[in-house]
Amino acid sequence: MRLRIASVPPLALTGGALTVGLGGLYLAGLLVTGGEIEAGTTVRGVDIGGLSREEAVHKLDDHLAAAGAKKLAVKVGDRKGTVDPRRAGLTFDTERTVDRAARTASDPFSVIGAFFRSGHDIEPVVQLDEGKTRTALGKLARNLDQKVRDGAVTFEEGHVKQVTPRRGYALDVDAAVDTLRASFLHGRTNAVTALPTRETEPKVSAAEVRRAVRDFARPAMSAPVTLIAGGRQFTLSPAVVGEHLTMRPDDSGDLIPKLDGKGLRSAPAVARPLAGLTTTAENARLRLDGDRVVVADDARAGTQVTDQALTKAVLPLLTETGAARSGEVAVRRIQPEVTRENAARLGLTEKMSSFTVNFEPAPYRTKNIGRAAQLINGSVVQPGETWSFNRTVGERTPANGFVDGIMILDDKFTEAPGGGVSAVATTMYNAMFFAGVKPVEHGAHSFYIERYPEGREATVAWGSLDLRFTNDSGHAIYIQAEATDTSVTVTFLGTKKYDEIESVKGPRTHVQPPEKLVSTDEKCVPQTPLEGFDVTVERVFHDDGKVVKREPFHTHYTPRDEITCEAPEPSANGTPDTR
């Protein structure tokens, strides 16, 4: 009997041999490594090959902890700084790093490949706390962001100064998170990592600065300019002009010269020669002949050099040379509002109302009431305009002609600048009331003062309470204000809109008794008691013999407490006790 051997296809033999060979290599590799980290494996240069997982973690903890604590050098634009990885929430996860190395070592291709290579490096696993990273980058941005700076041209004491433009950089925190992580991962502690930024180009370029200096700034400061106004000639030096001269960029980034005419107008070199040219227009002075208005004195026109006229005259001269740096300033003629010719046309024909308040004489009252009346006298309120006590009289300060006097503050009498002016406010309020014009703002005293009509009086306070009315009479109103040592009178001249204005006062309601108080304040002012109460006053409009309108005005007065002033008692050490 002959044995028959079946033929095997060459490919099958080869494949089987290959399968057996690869399996053998894999088993051999596992036997060589013993199932531990593959020999030759490193992490950031630290050899962990052949170690168990626990040994590898301990070794990486020692080496990567030091590497992870090193500050990262970064820059935003051309500004440099450092980032502390720990504060930025960047750490190495050694356990996950070792897991990665072990998975690689047990992979069949890696095990077999180990027979043919000397080793391989594993990237460490980075753990990132994004909240901390963004916080650290935000702090870095505050320190390293660079604001864009436009090119500029300035003038100092007659000399031209140039400001070089600078590009702006702002750290892009969103994009910088990954960049910082990559820098930490690859251990770039010596190299400077450029963080992503958003750049802003200056609006005014260096080329524009050079052009502005060449075409305007240097010519402007090259020599004085001469001005002629109303036949008067005066010269302005480059230093005087330069103090009020600027160059501002327009929408396209071109530097345009701007001259502050108001500031230049107030400079002594300009104000002195123009002082004699500036006169205030004066309205015709009116008086009453019975109840009819007549002109007592003619009006007088004024003259003025405006800020705009000064700017218009000076700017074109700054780029001229020689005799061409001389020019004329327009002088404006100001016409008065009220003249002999137009008084009647404005409706200034009759007395609309008049009211007088009497007061006990006192030097501060005479001074303050007289000054307020002086500032109010001659006011003209055109139809539809709103008149303001505070705007007309101004702040009650020594510089404005007022002195300290007694006034009400925090429900008690005290001493302050402008005391007594409320007498003028009350007089004005009543003249307005009986003229029938529209009240806009007014306020009564906190407690009642006997010399004033109940519910028909007013006080004012600079910056907080004004007395205002709108002229709705249909014609102009001319206000006369006159004061003596014991009285103040305000008269409205114009055209009556109603035949008669009547005041009807109601009874006192919600009456409250005052209290008795003792004060040791150094500025204490004695105060007599008076009850508090509410009262309503009606303004009744009569026309053609009948009532056409009623307006109620409600006023609440707090009690006026009785205040007795006493000296503070001495303390144990002999000094007054002011607690």
Could you read off the pLDDT tens digit of each residue along the chain, which spans 579 residues?
Answer: 444 434 444 444 344 444 444 444 444 444 444 447 888 899 888 899 989 899 889 988 888 888 888 889 999 988 999 999 999 999 988 889 898 888 754 555 444 444 444 457 888 999 999 999 999 999 999 998 999 999 999 999 999 999 999 999 999 999 999 999 998 888 765 689 999 999 999 999 999 999 999 999 999 999 999 999 988 899 999 999 999 999 999 999 999 999 999 999 999 999 999 887 888 888 998 988 888 999 989 999 998 899 999 999 999 999 999 999 999 999 988 999 999 999 999 999 999 999 999 998 889 899 999 999 999 999 999 999 999 999 999 999 999 999 887 665 555 556 666 778 999 999 999 999 999 999 999 999 988 988 899 999 999 999 899 999 999 999 999 999 999 999 999 999 999 999 999 999 999 999 999 988 888 887 788 888 999 999 999 999 999 999 999 999 999 999 988 888 888 766 555 544 333
Please give the backbone phi and psi of residue 48, each rounded to the nearest 5 degrees, phi first: -120, 15
What local confidence, expressed as pLDDT, does residue 100 receive?
A: 86
Q: State the burial class of residue 321 (Cβ atoms within 10 Å of its Cβ: 0-12, 13-18, 19+).
A: exposed
Q: Tell me, what amino acid is at 351?
A: K
* Nearest to 101, CA basis, from 140, 146, 46: 46
What is the distance between the alpha carbons of residues 59 and 64, in angstroms, rounded to a whole number?
9
DSSP 3-state percent helix, strand, coil across the chain (nearest 5)? 30, 35, 35
> Rounded CA gap, 94 and 64, in Å?
8
Output the pLDDT for position 410.
Answer: 56
Residue with tokens 């004491």: 157
558: Cβ contacts below 8 Å, ≥ 6 apart:
411, 446, 447, 512, 532
Contact yes or no for 151/206 (Cβ under 8 A):
yes
Which tokens in the block code for residue 125?
């696993």
Query: How far apart are alpha carbons 312 and 456 in whole angstroms?
Result: 51
Amino acid sitting at position 77: G
DSSP tag of 215: I
Task: With residue 210 as reference, give the H or E element that holds it.
Answer: helix 206-212
**Cα separation of 158 and 155, whole Å?**
6
Query: How far, in Å, CA of 294 to CA of 338, rounded?
Result: 12
User: Quick one: how many helices (H) and strands (E) in the chain?
Assistant: 15, 36
pLDDT at 17: 45
Distance linking the first and last C-alpha atoms of the chain:
138
Residue among 133, 138, 56, 140 at smallest CA distance from 91: 133
pLDDT for the residue 414: 63
Residue pair 40/116 in contact (Cβ under 8 Å)? The answer is no
CA–CA separation, 482 and 488 (whole Å):
6
Task: Note the pLDDT of residue 63.
Answer: 87
Quick one: DSSP state of residue 116? G
Give pLDDT, residue 455.
Answer: 95
- Sequence letter at residue 82: T
Domains located in the chain, CATH noted: 30-143 (3.10.20), 207-243+253-334 (3.10.20), 350-565 (no CATH)
pLDDT of residue 119: 58
Which amino acid, one-letter code, is at 309? Answer: A
* Calpha distance 503→431 (Å, rounded): 12
Contacts of 130 (CB under 8 A, 6+ apart): 89, 177
Query: Judging by beta carbons within 10 Å of its beta carbon (0-12, 13-18, 19+), is residue 158 exposed, middle or buried?
Result: middle
